[in-house]
Amino acid sequence: MKPHGTYKITNRGRGTDALLDPLSRSEIRSQRILQSLRQEILEGGDGRCLRIRQIFRTPREIYRLELELPELGYMRTTLLDRDALDQLLEADEIRALAHTVHLEE
């Protein structure tokens, strides 16, 4: 039995990401989030369960992306800035679904 208050810390300082500066780690994390969103949107099919709306204009534009996959009983909500949203929508497959995306202000 372990004494109270001793816990093994996992996923800290492992891999090459730990050697990078915080700004680089943040960029890598952002790219992983966008890749995950692309994958889930494409697996979701027709895009009817995808909704994007702007929630802030200043000091920077922030968008709320809601992705609902009812067959899995799952809803994912992600906040994106304008640059990240543009990166997400620049993929041809995502852009093909963009006609069903509701961009609300």
The 10s digit of each residue's pLDDT in 44-81 is 766 567 788 888 888 889 999 888 877 778 888 999 99
- DSSP designation for 3: P
Question: Of all helices (H) and strands (E), which one includes residue 82?
Answer: helix 82-89
pLDDT at 100: 45
Q: Is the pTM of this model over 0.75?
A: no
Residue 71: strand pairing partners: none
CATH class of 17-104: alpha beta
Q: Which residue has the higher pLDDT, 11 or 52?
A: 52
Of 31-35, 87-91, 95-99, 100-104, the one with minimum mean pLDDT is 100-104
pLDDT at 26 over 90: no
pLDDT at 86 over 50: yes
Domain assignments of the chain as residue spans, ordered by start: 17-104
Assess contact for 82 and 61: CB atoms under 8 A: yes
Residue 3 CA to residue 81 CA, distance in Å, equals 45
